[in-house]
Amino acid sequence: MFVDVVIIGSGIAGLSAALEAKVQGKSVVVVTKKYPIQAQSAMAQGGINASLDPKDSIQAHIEDTLRSSQGLADEEVVEYVCSQAPKAIEWLDSIGTPFSRQDNRVALRRLGGAKAPRACYAQDYTGLKILHTLFDNCIKEGVKFLSEKFLLNIIVEDNSAKGVTLLDLRSTKVEQLLATSIVLATGGFGKVYGAFSTNGFGSYGEGLAAAMRAGAKLSDLEFVQFHPTSLAKSAILISEAARGAGAKIVDSKGERFCDELATRDELSRAIWQKLQSGERVFLDMRELGEEFIEKELPQERKLAMIYEGVDPVKDLLPIRPAAHYTMGGIDVDLDGKTSIKALFACGECANAKLHGANRLGGNSLLEAVVLGRRTGGVAAAFENEVVQKEYERTKADQNFIKALFNLPNRIDFMERQEFLSKLLYNNVGIEREELAMKGVLSVIRQHQRELAFMGIRDKSPLYNTELVQFIEYGNILELTEAMVVAAIQRNESRGAHYRKDYPEQNDTYKAHSIVWKEDGVLCADFKGKR
Amino acid sequence: MKITIKRYHPHFDPPSIDMEYEVPENMTLLEALHHIKQTKDRTLSFASMCRSGVCGSCAVKVNGKEQLACEYRAQDGDYIEPLSVVEVIRDLIVDFNASLDTLQRASAYPLQMHSGMSEDEERLVERQSDCILCHSCYSSCPVFETKSSFLGPFALTRAYRYVVDSREEEKRAHIDAVIENGIWDCTLCGNCTEVCPQGIDPKSDILMLQSMASRFGYVNPNLSGFGSFGLEF
Ligand SMILES: Cc1cc2nc3c(=O)[nH]c(=O)nc-3n(C[C@H](O)[C@H](O)[C@H](O)COP(=O)(O)OP(=O)(O)OC[C@H]3O[C@@H](n4cnc5c(N)ncnc54)[C@H](O)[C@@H]3O)c2cc1C
Ligand code: SF4
Ligand code: SF4
Ligand code: FES
């Protein structure tokens, strides 16, 4: 099969890119490992930023974003995205997004780190409603979807991308899909922290790992944002909108101990330290009142009751910080171009350097829409020679899948995966230290060596979800190695990356960390380090 | 406590069996399924993503009624089976391709829109746009037993959502798209409304579409024999 533009991932970034590529009259295929609307984007609750308030300005949005980035954002990218934001909301409105309204305009709420109410929302279903509106429009425009196909690899020859190899989940056959340009929109990798992550199952970063294997550079992987308020048992997110409206964070004695509107990294650290000292921490939403909670945060209330057995209207909600968003990703420029010809990336899997060391709430949906569209447009206009033949990569991947069925399965990978997620949360999480991280790194490398002794028990070629999880786990091992290496080499604290052994910011490190693979060997460096 | 799951694998003989599993108390059904897969049976196949009721991948039938596995607390003795109407691929995994096609067939997307709406206008589409396409309503609908080409509840609710959207200019074309295999085939049984985890009321949306269609001059074919009071002599 051959198409003009293939987009891997059907989240808000992927669908925004698809619609824009379609405007240029190109044939567009969107591939996803699930069904199109089952992307993590549906989970976003808080909002999408745009300076629409009369007291707000594009300049203020730029300044807030830059401040939060701790010197690691690209000013050109920040300026572009923030100045496009009002137009992006206008576009989303014009294609049907049912944003909440106030005084007959798109309603705004204030999220942490913002000087003004700046987040446009649709109750606490912001991501869901944007995603479904984009999906409806994709159907209208004739975007083609390939569901239940799992990205294995990017086919590259002479540093130029030719297509992708996909595992068809229903048949377990490996297929190749060739395209003039390839856009990765596979989302972040926050779920490598397992039960300590707000993310959905599936956010393991195969797109990043595949890009790295193909020779692309990844950057700033050490910057993982922890969200301060997730439910203690399930790590389900309680959106920042709750704090924006006045919810308090309190300890076991019911006392406040931090500024609820501080940045996410500061708050997460404050809560983490409380928890480390054996205390429990709660979110107190009682003062917001039932009417407000039902109108603005109905989803939160429902989830708190199901998962924590607590009604936030009446009781304190037990919380802890959880891995939420990965700032780093496939290194791209403003056009979404990676270091490989014809390979593009947008959304959370990419690092366009909008967020730097710390993302502001509401800026990632904005990035997904603005840079998703821009990348989709650039990719659609791109020209590349692609010889139509069966590529070596495809054959190798076919053999690889066959081989997985024959692995001895002497070590249980699911136990390993759970173990690794705990190690990462405790040692490469909210607070980090060299020695402990080096320990984690050697565990990851040990697990990599032992992959050949793992395997799957389910031998069915029909929709084998254990096989999928095993491949995801292999990717996790590849990607977390790179993340931990990046975290170890940054001997300073900046934004979400907090080193107990280097608690200060050190501007020698005011540079982007870069990782890549050469002949299968992981390499790491800084771009522009003094 | 124990739950029973209807397993299905077309290559096996018999393809379908019931299997009972011991699971800990106080879990959502989705947590229980993950628990079984991780600790007891790696072949158990089911779908999930968000675990928070927004991605629409985990709907199944519990004791005959559609539920989101991630929002339902498993109870001792529960009987779990895949959704109805849609084709079962394996265990609790079902095919959504054919059913999602109804959205295209019902033109359940904006046709000609402008931007801007008031608070009151937004409220008209608020509930309908909470839909997560979980297929619970689709699975509960009796019409499919006799008419597989029926557009079904979620596509019709979404069509309605665009008809009443004040930004939409092409109302008539939306109505035109839901006449054939659409609004008149619904028996107004209310099953869909009963099972929707998002509190959406497709039945009443379909009724609204029917009355709009009447205003556009369409006649309910089920009422055309009205002169004989439906009796045959
Ligand atoms: C609970 C929660 C709340 C959030 N709230 C907000 C908010 O209020 N505001 C905000 O700005 N941001 C928020 N975020 C962050 C934001 O939702 C994400 O950054 C954004 O949705 C990412 O969109 P995306 O399109 O890049 O990726 P995703 O939506 O994650 O989509 C990734 C797509 O890639 C597909 N895919 C992945 N791997 C493969 C593979 N191997 N093969 C095939 N397909 C694959 C997936 O199936 C999916 O379709 C929140 C995140 C979470 C988890
Ligand atoms: S209308 Fe309700 S039951 Fe039907 S698909 Fe939408 S959310 Fe699910
Ligand atoms: S009310 Fe209509 S659409 Fe809903 S389940 Fe009954 S027949 Fe189906
Ligand atoms: S897992 Fe997403 S709706 Fe249940």
- ipTM of the complex model: 0.96
Rounded to a whole number of angstroms, the CA Rg of chain B reads 20
Q: DSSP secondary-structure letter at A470? A: H
Long-range contacts of B30-33 (CB under 8 A, 24+ apart): B30/B58, B30/B69, B30/B70, B31/B74, B32/B3, B32/B74, B33/B69, B33/B92
Angle formed by the axes of helices B202-215 and B153-163, nearest 10°: 50
User: Active site includes A227?
Assistant: yes
Catalytic, out of A61, A109, A110, A243: A243
3-state SS assignment for residue A29: strand
Question: Residue B170: which CATH number?
Answer: 1.10.1060.10
| Cα A312 from chain centroid (whole Å) | 28
CA distances from B181 to B139, B152, B178, B184, B229 (A): 17, 9, 7, 7, 24
Claim to verify: residue B39 and residue B117 sit in the same structural domain = no
Last residue of a domain, one of B94, B111, B143: B94
Asked, for residue B224, whether it belongs to a domain, the answer is no
Task: Name the strands in the sheet holding A108-109, side by side, starting at the edge strand that comes first in the sequence.
Answer: A48-49, A119-120, A108-109
Give the list of residues 6+ apart from residue A269 with CB closer than 8 angstroms, or none. A430, A431, A498
Q: Give the torsion through C-alpha atoms of A187, A193, A194, A199, to 10 deg.
A: -40
Residues facing A282 on adjacent strands: A250, A318
Task: Tell me which residue has its CA closest to atom 8 in ligand 2.
Answer: B134
pLDDT digits 0-9 by tens, B52-61: 999 999 999 9
Asked, for residue B139, whether it belongs to a domain, the answer is yes
Asked, for residue B26, whether it belongs to a domain, the answer is yes
Question: How many whole angstroms from A9 Cα to the centroid of ligand 1?
Answer: 9
Angle formed by the axes of helices A12-23 and A126-141, nearest 10°: 30
Amino acid at B205: D
Burial of A360 (0-12, 13-18, 19+ CB in 10 A): buried
Claim to verify: residue B31 and residue B44 sit in the same structural domain = yes
Can you give the pLDDT at residue B225?
A: 54
Claim to verify: residue B128 and residue B189 sit in the same structural domain = yes
User: Active site includes A449?
Assistant: no
CA distances from A58 to A63, A265, B153 (A): 9, 24, 43
Residues facing A345 on adjacent strands: A184
Print the domain residue range for B43: 2-94
Claim to verify: residue B54 and residue B104 sit in the same structural domain = no
Amino acid at A186: T
Amino acid at A443: V
Residues facing B131 on adjacent strands: none
Quick one: fold of A392-527?
A: Methane Monooxygenase Hydroxylase; Chain G, domain 1 (1.20.58)
- Quick count: other Cβ atoms within 10 Å of Cβ B27? 16
Claim to verify: residue B44 and residue B133 sit in the same structural domain = no
Chain B contact for A462 (CB, 8 A cutoff): yes
Q: DSSP secondary-structure letter at B13? A: S
Query: Which numbered atom of ligand 1 lies nearest the CA of A166?
Result: 42
Query: Which numbered atom of ligand 1 lies nearest the CA of B49?
Result: 47
Give the list of residues 6+ apart from residue B100 with CB closer than 8 angstroms, or none. A35, A36, B133
CA distances from B118 to A93, A150, A431 (A): 12, 42, 46
The CA distance from A504 to the nearest CA of chain B, in Å, is: 37
Can you give the pLDDT at residue B230?
A: 46
Task: Name the strands in the sheet holding B59-62, side by side, starting at the edge strand that comes first in the sequence.
Answer: B16-22, B2-8, B79-81, B59-62, B65-68
Residue B212 to residue A129: CA distance in whole angstroms: 25
Claim to verify: residue B86 and residue B67 sit in the same structural domain = yes
Can you give the pLDDT at residue A39?
A: 98
Claim to verify: residue B152 and residue B206 sit in the same structural domain = yes
Residues 416-455, chain A, touching B (beta carbon < 8 A)? none
Question: Which regions of A148-307 does DSSP assign to beta strands (E)?
Answer: 149-157, 160-168, 173-184, 218-219, 224-231, 248-251, 281-284
Q: DSSP secondary-structure letter at B117? A: -
What is the mean pLDDT of each successive set of 10 residues along chain A, which is 530 residues long? 95 98 96 98 95 97 96 98 98 98 94 91 95 98 98 97 98 98 98 97 98 98 97 92 89 93 89 95 95 86 91 96 98 98 98 96 97 98 96 98 96 97 98 98 98 97 98 98 98 97 97 96 90
Claim to verify: residue B208 and residue B191 sit in the same structural domain = yes
Tell which residue, B130, B5, B3, has the closest CA to residue B60. Answer: B5
Asked if residue B28 has pLDDT above 50, the reply is: yes
The CA distance from A508 to the nearest CA of chain B, in Å, is: 40
CA distances from B113 to A93, A139, B22, B97 (A): 9, 16, 53, 27
Give the list of residues 6+ apart from residue A308 with CB closer than 8 angstroms, or none. A231, A232, A233, A234, A317, A318
- Please count the residue pairs, one from chain A and one from chain B, whose beta carbons lie less than 8 angstroms apart: 151
- What's the count of helices (H) and strands (E) in chain B, helices before strands? 8, 7
Claim to verify: residue B187 and residue B104 sit in the same structural domain = yes
Quick one: fold of A228-320?
A: Flavocytochrome C3; Chain A, domain 1 (3.90.700)
Last residue of a domain, one of B94, B120, B152: B94
Q: Which of A292-296, B116-120, B161-165 has the lowest mean pLDDT?
A: A292-296
Can you give the pLDDT at residue A242?
A: 86
Claim to verify: residue B104 and residue B85 sit in the same structural domain = no
Can you give the pLDDT at residue B45?
A: 98
Tell which residue, A383, A232, A402, has the closest CA to residue A321. Answer: A232
Residues 154-193, chain A, touching B (beta carbon < 8 A)? 170
Q: What confidence tier does B177 reach under pLDDT thresholds 50, 70, 90?
A: very high
DSSP secondary structure of B42-76: TT-----S-SSSSS---EEEETTEEEETTTSB--T
- The answer to whether the beta carbons of residues A260 and A5 sit under 8 Å apart is no
Q: Which ligand is nearest to the CA of B29?
A: 4
Residue A264 to residue A495: CA distance in whole angstroms: 9
Which residues lie with the beta carbon below 6 Å from any ligand 3 atom? B 140-143, 153, 186-192, 202-203, 206
Interchain proximity B38–A103, CB inside 8 Å: no
pLDDT digits 0-9 by tens, B64-86: 999 999 999 999 999 999 999 99
Residue A137 to residue A452: CA distance in whole angstroms: 45
CA angle A295, A285, A311 (to 5 degrees): 80
Number of domains in chain B: 2
Provide, as residue numbers in chain B, all residues whose Cβ is less than 8 Å from the Cβ of A34: 47, 49, 57
- The answer to whether the beta carbons of residues A293 and A301 sit under 8 Å apart is yes
Task: Tell me which residue has its CA closest to atom 2 in ligand 3.
Answer: B186
Claim to verify: residue B101 and residue B209 sit in the same structural domain = yes
Q: Give the torsion through C-alpha atoms of B11, B16, B19, B25, to 10 deg.
A: 100
CA distances from A309 to A78, A280, A302, A318, B199 (A): 41, 16, 10, 10, 21
Give residue limits of the domains in chain A. Answer: 228-320, 392-527
Cis omega (within 30 of 0) on the bond before A36?
no
Residue A511 to residue A528: CA distance in whole angstroms: 6
Residues facing B90 on adjacent strands: B93
Q: What confidence tier does B223 reach under pLDDT thresholds 50, 70, 90?
A: confident
Claim to verify: residue B104 and residue B191 sit in the same structural domain = yes
Asked, for residue B227, whether it belongs to a domain, the answer is no
Tell which residue, A163, A154, A158, has the closest CA to residue A210. Answer: A154
Can you give the pLDDT at residue A298?
A: 83
- Whether the full predicted model's pTM is greater than 0.95, yes or no, is yes
